[in-house]
Structure 1
Amino acid sequence: MLGMWEKMSLIWLQVGQCGNQIGQEWWQILSSNIAEADRYPYFSRDGLINAICVDTEPKVIRKLRQQVKRGYFRDANIIVGQRGRGNNWAYGYQGISTSGEKNLLDRTMEAFRKEVERRDCYSGTVILHSLCGGTGSGMGSRLCEEIRDTYPAGYILSVTAAPHEAGDSPLQHYNSLLCLAWIQRFCDGVLLFQNDEVMKRAASLTEKKSFTASGLQPSVSLTSMNTHIASCLAGLLCPVYSLKTRSSVSVGLEPWELIRSLCPISTMKFLHTSQVCRRGSVSWDKVTSLAVQTVPRADPHGQLHHSLSVLAVARNSQDYSFLLSQDSVLTKLRQAYRCVTWNPSPIHCWTDPQNILDPSCHSHSLTVCANHSSAADLMSGVLTKARRMYDAGAYLHWYRRYGCEDDHFQMSFDALNSVVDEYRGLGVP
């Protein structure tokens, strides 16, 4: 039986501070709430976590190993350097030449190779990282490229955190530009979480309505934001009854079925996620109405957003009530997300009679993921700000010193402009 459970197992790759902090929250949800029979697409036969944790500084990974309970990381899969990457994509992508740090990429790929060999059938990789930091953006891009070249048959699903629009780093626009271009080229799907939106959702969920002195941003901890992202991942990627075998065994199809359902066109693969979880007696129509409230309606110019495809994952403890409301829920989602008329099957639905997000009581959770044209808003902003800096020659010497030349920037500008054009044309008849 273990052999069958392992057949479609995947490898989790956590890169940089952000990727490992999200991973910490993800593994706490998974190791604490998931049923024993559903663990094996995510854990090895020996019970160790199917994850490789990479960072150029040791502090975050040390904390992760201390706090994740009921699950253990393989020592050889903890890849740590001693120097950061200076919030510089080129520095993270290229690495440095000292003997202790030079092998960070090689060590990661060697650990990855061994994890692949532990699988009966390697199906793909989920990579957690950010667009902003040097390690998450630069080394994350390099690892996507290396994995694609070495294991071309496996899927790559990127879980990516985008920086605050107001600014996390003076280099964030360059880093975002280059990283987005790389994951567009080498990944099959991208779950894109924007920090400003995640902060609003985390503030709403924790009922924290206080604001800072500026009055612009709610006071929300980084842990709460990471927990929200991990909760969305759990809603989407934890085993569902719909995808289990007849004997109720999970074979880990969820990440790859998500890609197949939502990313049928290679030029559009950026996904928006919304989630609502409620306890007690609440109608599914009410839960759906709350979920669609967070969907971006139009771009800054007033052009309405559209969706290429939508996936709804409904989890409700102890009953199958969703099935009674499924038609009305899917109709409401199709209208709210403005699904394109030329896709004959734009809505997909998975269900599970257990709610992993709140297993202790009667509860409902609805996680909705859409290939949505609002991704173009983020990219358009990145393009505008990065182009302004690039034309002024700002900070370019910091990138050129690590081998990032004009060709890399021009390729990235062209790639993102193409993606923006594709998304802008979604609603055009």
Structure 2
Amino acid sequence: MSTIWLQIGQCGNQVGQEWWKLVTNEKAPNSTLDRYPFRAPDGKLSALCVDSEPKVVRSLLREVKSGSFRDSNISLGLRGRGNNWALGYHGLKREDDNSLLHRTLDSFRKEVERRDAYSGVVLLHSLTGGTGSGLGAHLCESIREEFPVGYILSVTVAPHQVGESPLQHYNSLLCLSWLQRYADGVLLFHNDDVLRRMQVLCGKKIDHAPALQPPISLSDMNTHIASCLAGLMYPVSNLRTQRGTASWDSMLSSIVRTLPRHSPTGDVYQSTAVLAVARGNRAETFNCSLQPIMMKMKQGYGCVSWNSHPLDSWTDPCNIVDLMSSSHSLTICANHSSVSDYIQRVLEKAQTMYDAHAYLHWYWKHGCEEEDFMQAFEILDSVVKEYIAAGDH
């Protein structure tokens, strides 16, 4: 595979480490070096890790010693970015051409040059941390300018609605606007949704003893996100969002039941496109019952009428998450208009803070300008309007 994986900041590197645990399982299909889809021709992982602090990435040193990870692909700073998009984007004032941004781009160019063809990059990062949001946005912009033909897919994690950082709405606003301008696609995971999903899964496992239900850890949430990515993005010969021995219809019903149907204002949510990935030793039965499953998906996800082919499906006989079991998994990726509610909430929170001039001095101090905010408000407002218009065609 000619794709490079770029892990940025604490969140990006933690999710990335869980991702590599899954896909580098030596029992996984296509795991031999000449066919392995996530390695460079010399057998090293096609990954770069960048963080402004060394604490999270230290665990990767074991992978460096084992020979699977390239030491030159780890770029670290000595000072965090203070949960500030502006500091992450513009960097420290005393930095020169040896800055974290320049070192990362230099490693990226060398990784591109190691392969016969370059198709694109997957960015793993968060919307709220200074490094993930600010440096992530700058890297996305720089990679687009230097490698305009390659695709850029952002896998980004939105913060909890309440309580992560007083700057999270500004950071999310600015980062999302940069992704809208420079990325080809965004897979958005929301911490609140991931936590609810994990609580449902854990509740099912030990519903006979709710008092003993273990707390959901950050590591659990990162593993869940990584397994969702594996279900969607691992090659098919063709996540663990749903697993077990249930029928495909039952699994789909369980997923559809969790979908929000209406916005707070009563508008019906719709999807412009939906992809289902079925994995496991029963994958062939998915194709046998494809028509009723697709009809249920079309109705459950509210596919827009103007798209004549809104649904697609992939299958693979191997369940990458549970290689030793007979379980099967169903992963669904949808461009669902409920995301506009999150964007609208970011807009409203950020606008309220901006009008009150709250915390703005921290952004002016590190190089941000009023035009950056005005452009971000305009871009995200247009995204919300486009989602609304998509259902009116």
* TM superposition score normalised by structure 1: 0.85
1:283 aligns with 2:279: no
TM-aligned CA deviation for residue 300 of structure 1 = 1.4
- The DSSP-based 3-state class of the residue aligned with 1:369 is strand
- Which residue matches 1:34? 28
Runs of 4+ in 1 over 6 A off after TM superposition: 67-71
24-33 or 66-75: bigger deviation: 66-75
Kindly indicate whether the alpha-carbon contact (under 8 Å) linking 1:314 and 1:366 is maintained by their aligned counterparts in 2: yes
Equivalent positions of 1:6-405 (< 5 A) are: 8-32=1-25, 33-35=27-29, 36-37=31-32, 40-66=36-62, 72-99=68-95, 103-207=99-203, 219-242=215-238, 275-278=241-244, 280=245, 282-317=246-281, 320-405=284-369
Extract unaligned runs of 5+ from structure 2.
207-213
Question: Residues 317, 101 of structure 1: CA spacing in aligned structure 2 closer, same or farther, 3 A cutoff?
Answer: farther
> Are the counterparts in 2 of residues 274 and 292 from structure 1 also a CA contact under 8 Å?
no
Asked if the contact 1:93–1:141 (Cα under 8 Å) also holds between the matched residues in 2, the reply is: yes
Instruction: Give the Å deviation of 1:283.
Output: 1.2
Q: Deviations over 1:61-109 (max 9, x none)?
A: 0124447998721000000000000000000000013348952111100
CA contact (8 A) 1:141 1:183 kept: yes
Q: Match of 2:252, as an amino acid?
A: T
CA distance in 1, matches of 2:304, 2:200: 30
Give the distance between the partners of 2:37 and 2:111, measured in 1 at CA. Answer: 13
SS in structure 2 at match of 1:48: coil
**Cα distance, 1:219 vs. partner?**
3.5
Q: Indicate the residue corresponding to 1:256 in structure 2.
A: none
Alpha-carbon spacing, 1:101–1:136, altered in 2? closer, same or farther (3 Å): farther
CA gap of 1:208–1:178, structure 2 versus 1, over 3 A, is farther
User: Shift of the alpha carbon at 1:277?
Assistant: 1.4
Gapped regions of structure 1 (runs ≥ 5): 1-7, 211-217, 243-272
Distance 1:71 1:202 in 2: 34
Name the CA shift for 1:404/1:274 in 2 (closer, same or farther; >3 Å).
farther
- The structural deviation recorded for 1:274 is 8.8
C-alpha change, 1:335 and 1:201, in structure 2 (3 Å) is same
Contact 1:274 1:291 in 2 (8 A): no
Contact kept, 8 Å, 1:274 with 1:294, in 2: the verdict is no
Structure 1 residue 209, shift from structure 2 partner:
9.6
Query: Does structure 1 conserve the Cα–Cα contact (< 8 Å) formed by 2:63 and 2:69?
Result: no
Tell me the SS of whatever aligns to 1:160. strand
Question: What is the deviation of 1:40?
Answer: 2.9
State the secondary structure of the residue aligned to 1:42: coil
Which range is displaced more, 135-144 or 321-330?
321-330
RMSD over aligned Cα atoms? 2.1
1:183-202 CA deviation, whole Å, 9 max, x = no partner?
01000000000000001112
Q: How many residue pairs align between the two structures?
A: 383
CA distance in 2, matches of 1:178, 1:126: 19
Residue-by-residue CA offset, 1:129-167 (whole Å, 9 max, x unaligned):
000000000000000000000000000000000000012
Task: Give the direction of change, closer, same or farther, for the CA distance of 1:417–1:339 in structure 2 (3 Å limit).
Answer: same
For 2:135 and 2:186, the matched residues in 1 are separated by 17
Deviates more, 1:36-45 or 1:371-380: 36-45
Q: What letter corresponds to residue 338 of structure 1 in structure 2? A: G
Whether the 8 Å contact between 2:174 and 2:376 is mirrored in structure 1 is: yes
Q: Which amino acid aligns with 2:235?
A: P
Q: Find the aligned partners of 1:65 and 1:277 in 2 and give their Cα distance.
A: 33
Are the equivalent residues in 2 in contact too, given 1:208–1:220 (CA < 8 A)?
Answer: no
**Deviation string, structure 1 residues 309-362 (Cα, Å, up to 9, x no partner):** 000000022662212121111111110000001101000100101111111121
Letter in 2 for 1:232: C
